[in-house]
Amino acid sequence: MKKNLCALCALFCLALGVVAQDAPAFTGENAEFAMIVDLNPLKKKVKDNVVLVNQATTASLSFVIYVFDKKHEEWLQFGSGRLNGFNDTDKVGATLTGDVKKYPYVAVVPTEGVKYSFKTGAHSHDLYFFVQPENNSFEAFKESAVECDVSHIHRFTKDNIRFVSNSAKIQNTGFYVFADSGEGYSLVGSAYLKGLGDTCFVHRADDIALTQYNSIAIVSTDGGHYEFSVNAESNDLYVYVEDFATPTPASE
């Protein structure tokens, strides 16, 4: 794992949801791959849409969203969504009338029969599902991670994290962002850059202020080696992705 000094700020206020422990069982198609979320802690924050974010793979993914009708004790199909590659987002096309907040439980089910990890939260009155690799532990990515010390950062407390490509090597490249706030690294965000000069805001999947982080680590999805430099501009934290500088051999 390489080390690189950098700093990050919070992207937005995200209220995290709770994976339901005592929810009624979902028994529909691909039930073994479903994740059920208890919406009760988010009732005051969720009103409108369900949004999916692909932080798992470069492949296209499809999902069906179900809600639990407590009155009739049954799961109803709320809608479906499709994610076309890494860091893509999709607002679920609802087939039921009414807002998702009226239901106590929501289940997200991948149609490909593949197991994923999910993080969920509320932002701007929408319910977010962040689709992540089944093994989203830092250990699975550690060898290719670039670690950044952020323990010195206290004044970057507003707005967004923006990735900027200053690398000619980048071609449709995704980036995982891990963070350690004292309990080890966890996957907290993602970005996607199409090529030289492209920019992208990080999709945050946690609700911890980045000023609480001791360090973060960045991993590219293309296996490439990059360096990272940062600068605060207009209350945003810019993360510049640079080509990795190969050390010049010392002359004899």
Per-residue pLDDT of 64-98, as tens digits, reads: 999 999 899 999 999 999 999 999 999 998 888 77
Residues 65 and 102 in one domain: yes
**d(C-alpha 207, C-alpha 105), whole Å:** 21
Q: Whole-prediction pTM value?
A: 0.83
Residues 146 and 237 in one domain: yes
Residues 177 and 93 in one domain: no
Domain carrying residue 9: 2-13+137-243
Residues 71 and 46 in one domain: yes
Residues 143 and 182 in one domain: yes
Strand partners, 218: 146, 177
**d(C-alpha 91, C-alpha 93), whole Å:** 6
Is the CB of residue 38 less than 8 Å from the CB of residue 23? yes
Could you tell me if residue 196 is inside a domain? yes
Domain boundary among 81, 109, 133: 133
Residues 99 and 166 in one domain: no
**d(C-alpha 238, C-alpha 219), whole Å:** 17
Residue reference for tokens 């207009």: 234
Residues 99 and 146 in one domain: no
* CATH number of residue 142's parent domain: 2.60.40
**Could you tell me which of 15, 34, 13 has the C-alpha nearest to residue 25?**
34
Under-50 pLDDT residues of the chain? 4-18, 248, 252
Please state whether beta strands 74-84 and 60-69 pair in parallel, antiparallel, or not at all (unpaired): antiparallel
Residues 125 and 186 in one domain: no
Q: What is the pLDDT of residue 9?
A: 35
Q: What is the pLDDT of residue 59?
A: 84
Q: What is the pLDDT of residue 1?
A: 61
Could you tell me if residue 252 is inside a domain? no
**d(C-alpha 175, C-alpha 150), whole Å:** 18
Gap between the terminal Cα atoms of the chain: 30
